[in-house]
Chains A and B, each alone.
Chain A
Amino acid sequence: MNNMKRYKSYIKLLAGLAFMGLLVSFAPDQKEDKKKKSSKGGMDAASEFKSQVAGYRQACKAALKPFRYSFGRTTYFNYKPYNTMKEVEVALILNSDYKFTFNADGVTVEPIQVSVYNKPASYNNRILIFEKKSVSGGSFEFTSEKLLENMRNHYKEKGLSDYELEKILLSKVYVDYTIPAIDEEFEEDPDTGRRKVVVKRGAIVFASGYENLGYK
């Protein structure tokens, strides 16, 4: 009887220990699964976005035709609870004809505004030479000739002669992307269980092309 009791207690002890061991071994598996999903999910979303944007870049470059590719710049941004602005400085060769193409298929959350100036944002008296509001999806383009024309119109209004207007140079332009504020959304961080802001990404692709190399 005593032996039977002892065996039972050993079996219980053994079962208890095995159960504890299983619990311990199972717990991190759950954690691991959770983290894998989280990181995998994060990577997938980021990689997917990145590969989508690579596709938009191809479309943007293709839209340059018949101009020859000069340069391309993708601007990534995150929507914030306040308005933000990102600026790209574009250098041009004097007296060359350029085409600028934009692909906004990566702008999906809220439309952004694209403005082109002759000076950087730090200048108070810069001239707005192109503006497109509510940019979201799709593509658009314009030429340096259009920008020059707007510069000339600006100075014409100031009373400059036609002779002087012909001398206007456009050696650099500044492309400003204004990203509107959004209401933040929150989600639970699968790793920490804490509340975190849902990242809302966007990207706009820009490419420039020149018509010819001038010397020929």
Chain B
Amino acid sequence: MRIVDGVAIKMNTMKNINVLLLGVVIFFFACGKDEASQHQDETPVVDEQITENVIIEESSDFAFAPPSPLEIAAFFKQAGLVYDQTILNPVSNKDLYQTKLKKSLNFGVYAADLATCVVNDQISDAKGYLEATEYLANEIGMSNIFEETAMTKFKENISNTDSIIMILTEIQMNTIEYIELNGKDDLEVVYFAGAWIEGMYLGSLTIMEQDSGNVVQQLASQIEFGNRIATGLEVIEDQDPEIIYIRNGILEIVNAYQNCESVKNLTDEDVDLGRLQMTKAELKEISELIVALRNDMIE
């Protein structure tokens, strides 16, 4: 019996161990499930935070609405800028841009150049700029802004500038919608920085060619916009040296403008009544800064 009891004791011990093992297995199964569920929990929580950030734009430091590239290009044409393809960023440069920052900046540059071609009825040149813009848009994850039929429509309407303008307006609308819908504030500010610098560059060339007071007023207004762009660039999380360089370049232009004697002495009323008159030396100094920054940017 003892032996039996002994066996029984051993068997009981075995059963106890089995029971314990079963409990441990259940426990670990439960714990394992707990861990898995924790992972499941974490993901939506993070998603929720991202969604909150996208929806609630509390730190909207970049709250501005610039004119579209088409309007800027049309303004400079009206002011007397003569179309010259060699002053634009060559389409072939698109392959030079390796970083997302460069691609985004030059996406803005090409948008301005594309508009310049269109308002000057240079539709065959415009086709190359449309392709370059589309290429860079794809590279920076904005392929959605181009409808599949955009290029076909463009080719079909190559002799109709109004229709081409409509296509460009559609692309502009899609770009803004994409940025707003996806909360791409960083991309937005870089894109506008590119378009702004190219617009300023074309404006500078206009001033050098034409002595137009209206262009000076417009350029002055655009220069002041540089402060907004610089602030927008400052809040970009990934402050790589190139962003800092572009930002400093923009601020240098804004400061040079604000330090001009003609500007310093202006009252608010003078600005409202278009009384700004800059000297040739002042315009030359600012234009040179703009051209230098723009040429660095497209390299």
B45 touches A86 (CB 8 A): no
B57 partner residues in chain A, CB cutoff 8 A:
75-76
The stretch of A43-51, A108-116, A133-141, A180-188 that contacts the partner chain: A43-51
Beta-carbon contacts of B137-171 to A below 8 Å, as 1s and 0s? 00000000000000000000000000001000100
Asked whether A10 and B221 contact (CB < 8 A) given A73-B63, A95-B214, the answer is: no
A153 within 8 A of B: no
B77 partner residues in chain A, CB cutoff 8 A:
215
B55 touches A39 (CB 8 A): no
The stretch of B19-27, B106-114, B241-249 that contacts the partner chain: B19-27
A70 touches B71 (CB 8 A): yes
B23 partner residues in chain A, CB cutoff 8 A:
14, 17-18, 20-21
How far is it, in angstroms, between the C-alpha of A75 and the C-alpha of B55 when the chains are bound? Answer: 10
B272 touches A169 (CB 8 A): yes
A72 touches B176 (CB 8 A): yes
A24 within 8 A of B: yes
A25 touches B26 (CB 8 A): yes
Asked whether A70 and B67 contact (CB < 8 A) given A78-B56, A94-B218, A201-B55, the answer is: yes
How far is it, in angstroms, between the C-alpha of A22 and the C-alpha of B30 when the chains are bound? Answer: 7
Beta-carbon contacts of A39-75 to B below 8 Å, as 1s and 0s? 1101100110110001001000100000011111111
A42 touches B51 (CB 8 A): yes
Instruction: Tell me what chain B mostly uses at the interface: helix, strand, loop, or mixed.
Output: helix
Q: How large is the interface on B (under 10, 10 to 19, 20 to 34, 35 or more residues)?
A: 35 or more
B37 partner residues in chain A, CB cutoff 8 A:
28-29, 31-32
How far is it, in angstroms, between the C-alpha of A90 and the C-alpha of B66 when the chains are bound? Answer: 6
B181 touches A54 (CB 8 A): yes
CB within 8 Å of B: which residues of A? 3, 6, 10, 13-14, 17-18, 20-22, 24-25, 27-29, 31-32, 35-36, 38-40, 42-43, 46-47, 49-50, 54, 57, 61, 68-78, 86-96, 118-119, 123, 125, 151, 155, 160, 164, 167-169, 171-172, 191, 199, 201, 206, 208, 210, 213-215
A125 partner residues in chain B, CB cutoff 8 A:
268
Chain B residues 52 to 92 lying within 8 A of chain A, measured CB to CB, are: 52, 54-58, 60, 63-68, 70-72, 74-75, 77-78
Q: How far is the CB of B297 from chain A (nearest CB, A)?
A: 20
Q: Known A-B contacts: A21-B26, A29-B37, A73-B63. Give 19 more (CB < 8 A).
A: A13-B16, A17-B20, A24-B26, A24-B27, A28-B34, A29-B33, A32-B40, A46-B55, A68-B165, A69-B173, A70-B67, A72-B65, A72-B180, A76-B56, A78-B56, A89-B65, A118-B272, A168-B272, A214-B78
**A91, closest chain B residue (CB):** B66
Q: How far is the CB of B19 from chain A (nearest CB, A)?
A: 5
A54 partner residues in chain B, CB cutoff 8 A:
177, 181
Beta-carbon contacts of B13-46 to A below 8 Å, as 1s and 0s? 0011001101100110111011001101100110
B75 touches A214 (CB 8 A): yes
B16 touches A167 (CB 8 A): no
B8, B60, B77, B222 — most chain A CB neighbours (10 Å): B60
CB<8 Å pairs between A and B, sample of 23: A10-B12, A21-B30, A25-B29, A25-B34, A32-B41, A38-B48, A42-B51, A43-B48, A46-B48, A50-B54, A61-B173, A69-B68, A71-B67, A72-B65, A89-B64, A90-B64, A93-B72, A93-B75, A94-B75, A169-B274, A172-B224, A213-B71, A215-B78
B218 touches A93 (CB 8 A): yes
Q: How far is the CB of B7 from chain A (nearest CB, A)?
A: 12
Which of the residues B19, B55, B63, B176 comes within 8 Å of A13, measured between beta carbons?
Answer: B19
CB within 8 Å of A: which residues of B? 8, 12, 15-16, 19-20, 22-23, 26-27, 29-31, 33-34, 37-38, 40-41, 44-45, 47-48, 51-52, 54-58, 60, 63-68, 70-72, 74-75, 77-78, 119, 165, 169, 172-173, 176-177, 180-181, 214, 217-218, 220-222, 224-225, 228, 268-269, 271-275
